[in-house]
Amino acid sequence: MCHQRNELTRLLRSWRGRLNPEEVPGFTARYGRRRKSGLTQGEVADLVGVSLRWYSRLETGTAGHYSDDFLERISRVLLLDDDERHALYMYAVHREPEPRRRPDTSSIDPYLADYVRQHEMPAYISDLAWDLRIYNNAALRQWPWMAYGLNIMLWVLTYPEARMQLIDWENAWAKPMAAQLRMAATHNPDHERLQEVVREIRESDEDARRIYDHDVTSYTHPDGSHRRIYLPHHHDREFEVVWLGFTPLRDPSMRFIVSVPADKTIPGMPATL
């Protein structure tokens, strides 16, 4: 048992030590610039959304009732591959993880899928419940969490790293998106997955529950919205992007979203965000 604790400590220290802070959008704006790689225990705890004490218990190999949600957040923040994620579960809770959620592309027309993948700007398609169905490499560079198949609303409204990357998180992002979610949930009361997303958001984050339950913002869709974000490898520089929204005529429940730079004349603006 002592060997297992030591191995978990060694692995977690190695995983957080290899991370490049510049790859974490908004990191520099919050913590300042640094020359060396690696994140501290406190920084990992902030990104995961737990106390330093709770994360330290895991890294020191202290036995505890670590939830799948907690371990999945650790896996995503530390950018673990499938083998590393498997090791995390085996050493932390002594069992294998559930298969990683992957975007379901089965309902996406193959021609549309090719168009999304080949698009030069960040582009993705989500369904009525805001589950990701497909995204391109440009979107993955802008939103690294997409590789983990997360629900868009859950990420924006409840994940700490979203509040780091999304500038003016509550007013520009959380309130309008919660308004979209409320409207969709009201008009689709029998959609099980959509109602499950609402429940998970309300149960997992106090600020998100407050906004969802009490905010009075009205917002229909993001098409044409201007919002500001931080990007990986661009320190504390702010970028304004415009969201373009489309709906495939054969399936109006899908949302085809593209984000483009608000000002392409800015020197140094990435060709693809």
> Does residue 204 lie in a domain region?
yes
- pLDDT band, residue 9 (cuts 50/70/90): very high
pLDDT for res 63? 73
The pLDDT of residue 103:
80
Residues 243 and 141 in one domain: yes
Q: Which amino acid is it at 8?
A: L
Averaged pLDDT for residues 41-65: 90
Task: Give me 243's structure tokens.
Answer: 């969201």
131 in the same domain as 246 = yes
d(CA 10, CA 133): 36
Q: What is the pLDDT of residue 273?
A: 53
Assigned domain for 100 exists: no
Task: Return the pLDDT at 265.
Answer: 53
Quick one: which H or E segment has residue 255?
A: strand 255-261
Please report how many Cα atoms fall inside a 13 Å half-sphere around the Cα of residue 256, on the Cβ side. Answer: 16
- More confident: 264 or 213: 213
What is the pLDDT at residue 200?
95
Residue range 264-272: average pLDDT?
51
Do the domain assignments include residue 102?
A: no
pLDDT, tens digit (0-9, with 9 covering 90-100), for 218-267: 999 999 999 999 998 888 999 999 999 999 998 999 999 999 999 865 44
Tokens of residue 63, six digits: 């036995």
CB 161 within 8 A of CB 154: no
Q: How high is the pLDDT of residue 267?
A: 46
> Which pTM was predicted?
0.88
84 in any annotated domain: yes
Task: Please say if the pLDDT value at position 106 is more than 50.
Answer: yes
From CA 250, how far away is CA 253, in angstroms rounded? 9
Residue 136 has pLDDT above 50, yes or no: yes
- Which domain, by its residues, includes 114? 110-261
Domain with 200 in it: what CATH number?
A: 3.30.450.180
